[in-house]
Chain A
Amino acid sequence: MTSEMVAAVPTPPGAGIFSTSGTSAGVATAPGELGIPRQDGPPPVSHAADPRHFLGLEGLTRPTLLTLLADAAREREWLKHGEPNRRDLAGVTVVLAFIEDSTRTRTSFEIAAQRLGANTVVFASGASSLNKGETLLDTVRLFEAMGAALVVVRHPSSGAPAWLARQLESIGVLNAGDGMHEHPTQGLLDLLTLQDAWQGRFEGRRLAIVGDISHSRVARSAIAGLTTLGCRVTVCGPGTLVPADVEELGCEVSDSLEDALAGADGVMALRLQRERMETGLLPAISEYARLWGLTPERVDLLAPEGVVLHPGPVNRGVEMAHEVADGPRSRILTQVANGVAVRCAVLRRCADAIRRPHGFTAALAAAAASTSTSASTSGAAGGREGSR
């Protein structure tokens, strides 16, 4: 085996290289005393609290959510009257980076931005031609260099918008749906729809969410927003489509659709992707429809004023029957209408934070600068150890 070895560090002859500071070999340390990252500086920057970005409903406080809903309700009133475009976002360039197809969400954001007077640039690309994060980053940096203030991102990778927000200096990032993580503007429009249906009161209400919870960013945003506002959430669906430990998100889990619906103040049916059959998570669409589809009889289990939501587009006869989708409990079209209002409110919030880099944002930037110098690796802002 090896024989010739080279000394990597020459030592001066006769030099005593070891300190005499140590004591003995016995180590007695109280558990937890060591190993935790040094916390000399401010706590890690929470992107949830940075108003320049809109990355998810998780982490947003109740007052923030209620303010956004109030803003959205005002925008809705204004939009109703068909007045000319405003100038709130005049001079602001909004890039719509859709690395995954979504005509509805993109159009909704585009209308919202234009109604507020922003310039919009659409950058749409299929996942096949642009699926590597760094390419997206390079592209968004170009837009940043050209003076774009906001970028709306739809991306197939969970966490991609948060990652982008960490990499960019001056541009605000809005999440328009990331993988299976969050779709926070959808979540907010669901909240607005329910707030109207429930006479403004979330406490004491309960919403059932039915279907493919595992793959649903809509469900995650709804759970985060509703539980923060004091509403109970029951999720239910086939065992293959309910993710592990989902109850730790603060919701209840039911194996029975009937139990979940009984007395609930609303139900949100999630869209079922055909792909779930192909990957062996479900045996057949017909079986799903039979077990989990919303029929008129089933929705009658809801409380008398209970409403029906769906993020669209509806697979009629699968997630719900015709009569339910078009029935008196359905708020599906209201949801779509609320989408533009919600996106107006969110775009304004982020644009205001970008244009007024004082107060909170400036403090945050200073905190980010000091943490990035004390923590030695890039991207340290997320909080390194277990605590989140």
Chain B
Amino acid sequence: MSFEKTALMLFRDVTHWRTGERFTLAVQDGVVVPAPARPGPGARVFEARGAVVAPGLVDVHVHLREPGQSAKETIDSGTRAAAAGGFTSIACMPNTDPVVDTPAWVEWVQRHGEAAGHCHVLPIAAVTVGQRGEQLAPLEALARAGAVAFSDDGRPVTSAAMMRRALEYARPTGRPIICHEEDPTLKGDGVMNEGFTATRLGLRGIPAAAESVMCRRDSDLAELTGGRVHFAHLSASASFDALRDAKRRGLRVTGETCPHYWVLTDEAVGDYDTHAKMNPPLRSDHDREACIAAIADGTIDCFATDHAPHTADEKAKPFTDAPFGIVGLETALGLTLTHLVGAGHVTLARAIELWTDAPRRVFGLPPVSVEAGSRADLVLFDPQAEWTVDPERFQSKGRNTPFAGWRLRGRVLATLLGGRFTHVADAARFERPAVPAGAAR
């Protein structure tokens, strides 16, 4: 990997995300370097007291919508949103139009991600041709082209036999199969979680078991094949149990969950609010508590947003007709710091690990740290700063969030990719009188 030559930048008095130590972070030529005792002329110095520095966040579950659905999101707008949310690497789902199921499309996504330049874009390729569940996609060639994982996300691999073959065939690539766990026969025409709110509103329910029975099936298939299974966006108590059991059995099974599953319940649907419609659906309070427990006890391997932008027109439909999905990139850190760390469920270090080192381990991505020698894919955030979620200010084209108007604590100050700023929050507000270049204090 090569980086552009960049001047020495010093971030004074930052807090180390893991150790809590105060130190001066130095970045030069795209990498973290030891802070020089006396910076030479030309160095840029940033007063960053109160800022926590951590490796750039990683989101392993994003819908960038390109190719084909650029009214919802583009690779450019989606990766801008990622940078604004503190992310430096995102993995994007292949359920686009056309589906990313050939090496050429994998390369196309990668190339456009690189050209946009706001974060690393790691394509996920389809498991089956057209995500139709009928014929295996060329998994080996897709991996060689750069696919970091395989998934028919958006729809489950319904046939157990097909999932078995995919796990067997993908095994030598070392890439996981990301499973959107949902039994289509149990889901039926369901549009929200089965339970009181669905009953009250007269909406068809999706039982939690629609997810958990497939987790059980794919755990057993992981055992049968020795393949790598990764459960996407887990939402249900029984699914967390399934993941816990799979680990107890020593299977190569991992799983992720998303902020909305630990923050909200199906009551958020309220009066047919389509901004609370996503798949899997928001569940009961029991499930929400089980989600937090699974995070706290280490069952959950990493976090993801399932960022799923839609146009305002699409979401402004009657509940049954509106599409599933909410955006998540620009609220992920705030929801994590406010509702997991702030609520005392996990430490700051553990929460950040689940957005950084943990997904890197799960997906075999090169490690990034804030120590000298690492590439400077970094996020600086103020864990105390309070802000109000305003979808109109999102970088994403999607405004479909249930968190509009929410007060959150913890906001991204800046994101660096290879030592360059990809995002700076509220520059005017944080602007200090310019210090002459090199004038270290």
- Are the CB atoms of A17 and B410 closer together than 8 Å? no
Interchain CA distance A131-B348 in the complex, whole Å: 48
Q: Indicate whether A146 reaches chain B with its CB closer than 8 angstroms.
A: no
Choose among A10, A23, A157 the residue that contacts B318 (Cβ–Cβ < 8 A): A157
Q: Least Cβ distance of A238 to chain B in Å?
A: 16
A129 interface residue (CB < 8 Å to B): no
Does residue B418 face the partner (Cβ distance < 8 Å to A)?
A: yes
Complex contact A34–B407 (CB within 8 A): yes
Q: B126: CB under 8 A from chain A?
A: no
Q: Are B405 and A37 in contact (CB under 8 A)?
A: yes
Closest to A37 in B: B405
Q: For residue B320, which residues in chain A have a CB less than 8 angstroms away from its CB?
A: 157-159, 179
Does A35 make an interface contact (CB < 8 A)?
yes
In the complex, chain A residues 351-388 whose Cβ is within 8 Å of any chain B Cβ? 374-380, 382-388
Please give, as numbers and ranges, the residues of chain A lying within 8 Å of B38 by CB-CB distance: none
Could you give, for residues 269-300 of chain B, a 1 whenever the CB lies within 8 Å of some chain A CB and a 0 otherwise? 01111110000000000000000000000000
Does A26 sit within 8 A of B, measured CB to CB? yes
CB distance from B12 to the nearest CB of A (A): 9
**Residues of B contacting A15 in the complex (Cβ-Cβ under 8 angstroms):** 44, 46, 431-432, 434-435
> Scoring A residues 1 to 34 as 1 if CB is less than 8 Å from chain B, else 0, what string do you get?
1111111111111111111111111111101011
Question: Given the complex of chains A and B, what is the CA–CA distance between A158 and B414 in angstroms?
Answer: 44
**Pair A384/B402 contact, Cβ less than 8 Å:** yes
A47 on the B face (CB < 8 A): yes
- CB of B49 within 8 A of chain A? yes
When chains A and B are docked, how far (Å) is the Cα of A318 from the Cα of B36?
87
Question: Is B199's beta carbon under 8 Å from chain A?
Answer: yes
Contact A163 B318 (CB under 8 A): yes
Q: Mark B376-412, 1 if CB is under 8 A from A, else 0.
A: 0000101111101011100000010110111111100
Residue B204 CB within 8 A of the other chain: yes
Complex Cα gap A24–B438 (Å): 27
Q: How far is the CA of A255 from the CA of B401 in the complex (A)?
A: 41
Which residues of B169-208 have CB atoms within 8 Å of chain A's CB atoms?
A: 194-196, 198-205, 207
Residues of A within 8 A of B420 (CB): 5-7
B205 with A244: CB separation less than 8 A:
yes
**A16 B46 Cβ-Cβ under 8 A:** yes
* Shortest beta-carbon distance from B84 to chain A in Å: 9
**Within 8 Å of chain A (Cβ to Cβ): is B136?**
no
Q: Does A319 contact B (CB under 8 A)?
A: no
Contact with B along A241-281 (1 / 0, CB 8 A): 00111101100000000000000000000000000000000
| B42-62 contacts to A (CB < 8 Å) | 44-52
Residues in B whose Cβ lies below 8 Å from that of A52: none
**Chain B residues in 8 Å Cβ range of A35:** 263, 335, 338-339, 406-408
Measured in the bound complex, the distance between the Cα atoms of B205 and A246 in whole Å is 13
Partner of A22, one of B20, B51, B344, B402: B51
Interchain CB contact under 8 A, A9 and B120: no
Chain B: CB-nearest residue to A131: B321
Chain A residues whose C-beta falls within 8 Å of the C-beta of B413 in the assembled complex: 17-18
Distance in angstroms between the alpha carbons of A65 and B118 in the assembled complex: 58
A224 to B, closest residue via Cβ: B200
Say if the beta carbon of B161 comes within 8 Å of chain A. no
A180 → B minimal CB distance (Å): 4
Q: How far apart are the CA atoms of A6 and B80 in the complex, in Å? A: 12
From B120, B339, B424, B429, give the contact of A2 (CB < 8 A). Answer: B120
In the complex, the answer to whether A245 meets B196 with C-beta atoms within 8 Å is: yes
Q: Which of A8, A14, A133 contacts B439 (CB 8 A)?
A: A14
Q: Chain B interface: which size bin?
A: 35 or more
- Is A8 a contact partner of B423 (Cβ separation < 8 A)? yes
- What separation, in Å, do the CA atoms of A25 and B342 have in the docked complex? 11
Is the beta-carbon distance between B199 and A8 smaller than 8 angstroms?
Answer: no
| Chain B residues whose C-beta falls within 8 Å of the C-beta of A167 in the assembled complex | 316
CB-based contact A162/B338 at 8 Å: no
Pair B341/A18 contact, Cβ less than 8 Å: no
Shortest Cβ distance from B312 into A: residue:
A378
Q: Do the beta carbons of A4 and B47 come within 8 Å of each other?
A: no
Docked-complex contact B430 and A158, CB < 8 angstroms: no
Q: Is B343 an interface residue (CB 8 A)?
A: yes
Give the total number of A-B pairs whose CB atoms are below 8 A apart. 285
Q: Is A89 an interface residue (CB 8 A)?
A: no
Task: Provide the residues of chain B in CB contact with A182, threshold 8 Å.
Answer: 202
Contact check, A2 vs B113: say whether CB atoms are below 8 A apart: yes
- A8: which of B80, B264, B343, B407 is its contact (CB, 8 Å)? B80
Identify B342's interface contact among A14, A34, A131, A244, CB under 8 A: A34
Assess whether B37 is interfacial by the CB under 8 Å rule: no
Let me know if B432 and A16 touch, CB within 8 A.
yes
Distance between B145 CB and nearest chain A CB, rounded to angstroms: 12
Which of B20, B382, B436 has the largest count of A CB atoms less than 10 A from its CB?
Answer: B382
For the complex, give the distance between the alpha carbons of A104 and B249 in Å: 61
> Could you tell me if A18 and B49 are in contact, using CB atoms closer than 8 angstroms?
yes
Q: How far does the Cβ of A114 sit from chain B's closest Cβ, in whole Å?
A: 29
Binds A, one of B1-9, B127-135, B212-220, B234-242: B1-9
Choice from A1, A29, A133, A384 contacting B270 with Cβ under 8 Å:
A384
Assess the B117–A377 pair: CB atoms within 8 A.
no
Q: Does A169 contact B (CB under 8 A)?
A: no
Flag if A18 contacts B430 (CB, 8 Å): yes
Decide if A220 is an interface residue (CB 8 Å cutoff): yes
Chain B residue contacts of A246, Cβ below 8 A: 199
| Minimum CB–CB distance for B386 against chain A, Å | 7
Report the Cα distance A181→B192, complex, angstroms.
Answer: 14
Cα–Cα distance between A244 and B266 once the two chains are bound (Å): 13
How many Å lie between the Cα of A133 and that of B380 in the bound state?
44
Q: Residue A29 contacts which of B267, B272, B406, B409 (CB distance < 8 angstroms)?
A: B409
Q: Is B317 an interface residue (CB 8 A)?
A: yes
Q: Give the nearest-CB partner of A22 in chain B.
A: B50
Q: What CA separation (Å) do A158 and B3 show in the bound complex?
A: 55
Residues of B within 8 A of A11 (CB): 44, 421, 424, 427
Find A388's partner among B267, B343, B380 (CB 8 Å cutoff): B267
Q: Looking at the assembled complex, report how far the CB atom of A204 sits from the nearest CB atom of chain B, in whole angstroms.
A: 25
Chain A residue at minimal CB-CB distance from B205: A244
A81 at the B interface (CB under 8 A):
no
CB pair B338–A22 under 8 Å, yes or no, is: no
Provide the A175-190 mask, 1 if CB < 8 A to any CB of B, else 0.
0001111100000000
Other A-B pairs, 20, CB within 8 Å; known A379-B316, A388-B267: A1-B146, A4-B117, A5-B117, A8-B118, A16-B435, A19-B382, A22-B385, A24-B50, A25-B17, A26-B20, A29-B343, A131-B321, A159-B320, A163-B272, A163-B319, A179-B203, A220-B202, A380-B404, A384-B275, A386-B264
- 4 closest A-B pairs (Cβ-Cβ)? A22-B50, A181-B202, A16-B432, A29-B342
Interface set of B (CB-CB < 8 Å, partner A): 1-4, 7, 11, 15, 17, 20, 44-52, 80, 83, 113-114, 117-118, 120-121, 146, 194-196, 198-205, 207, 263-265, 267-268, 270-275, 312-313, 316-321, 335, 337-339, 341-344, 348, 380, 382-386, 388, 390-392, 399, 401-402, 404-410, 413-414, 417-418, 420-424, 427, 429-439
Q: List 11 A-B contacts (CB under 8 A).
A: A2-B120, A3-B3, A8-B118, A11-B427, A14-B44, A14-B438, A15-B434, A18-B413, A27-B410, A35-B338, A376-B392
